[in-house]
């Protein structure tokens, strides 16, 4: 998620593409000491002997996760239609709750990229577990390169263009993504 402030007016943007982190070990509530089961962070997972065994870099795209839920889990909930909107809603609520603390000095023109970490429970309820002000931008697998390079390119183009021109267009967080050169 990106937040921009142009002429003191703050706006939030949701990038359309994303990924789901996976673990190297099957989840087991009885073994809380196995970090490879409970923490999906690359800093932990990359040290496991099964890192990348199931998915390159222990990551899947939104579309791959959607297929997994539909075909493997036989879930009634659809990732793009049911889960992703809840993620965006939680992001919107978070920005609204922290609005006065984000860029509290209301600098005239700036932007910031945030990483949002979510968790799904067995009933596919969505929980926002943390917001990172310094998200990892490591291209640890082909999927990350596919997502990060255009996302950062679009973020810089969009932010710098609008900051430089001092234009303000309103894109509500829950309905927007950063513009893409490939968009029609």
Domain that holds residue 6: 2-175
Q: pTM here? A: 0.80
| 184 located within any domain | no
| HSE toward the beta carbon, residue 20, CA cutoff 13 A | 21
- Answer yes or no: is 181 within a domain: no
> How far is residue 126's CA from residue 129's CA, in Å, rounded to a whole number?
9
What does the alpha-carbon distance between residue 164 and residue 166 come to, in Å, rounded to a whole number?
A: 6
Give 122-173 pLDDT, tens digit per residue. Answer: 899 999 999 998 888 889 899 999 999 999 988 888 777 665 554 444 333 4
Identify whether 52 is part of a domain.
Answer: yes
Q: Is residue 116 part of a domain?
A: yes
Cα-Cα-Cα-Cα dihedral sign, residues 96, 133, 160, 140: negative
The enclosing domain of 112 has a CATH number of 3.30.470.20
Give CA angle at 119 (35, 129), nearest 5°: 85
Residue 89, in any domain of the structure? yes
Give me 82's structure tokens. 């049911």
Per-residue pLDDT tens for 45-71? Answer: 888 888 889 899 999 999 999 999 999
């Amino acid at each position: 998620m990106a937040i921009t402030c142009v002429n003191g007016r703050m706006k939030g943007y949701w990038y359309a593409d994303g990924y789901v982190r996976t673990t190297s070990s099957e989840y087991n509530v009885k073994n809380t000491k196995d970090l490879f089961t409970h923490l999906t962070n690359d800093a932990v997972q990359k040290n496991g002997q099964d890192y990348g065994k199931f998915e390159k870099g222990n990551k899947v795209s939104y579309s791959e996760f959607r297929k997994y839920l539909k075909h493997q889990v036989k879930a009634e909930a659809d990732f793009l239609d049911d889960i992703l909107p809840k993620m965006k809603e939680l992001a919107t609520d978070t920005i609204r709750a922290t609005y006065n603390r984000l860029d509290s000095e209301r600098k005239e023109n700036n932007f910031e990229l945030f990483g949002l970490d979510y968790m799904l429970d067995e009933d596919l309820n969505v929980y926002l577990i943390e917001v990172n002000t310094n998200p990892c931008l490591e291209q640890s697998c082909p999927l990350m390169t596919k997502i990060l390079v255009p996302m950062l390119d679009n973020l810089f183009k969009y932010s710098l263009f609008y900051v430089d021109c001092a234009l303000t267009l309103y894109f509500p967080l829950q309905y927007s993504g950063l513009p893409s050169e490939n968009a029609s």
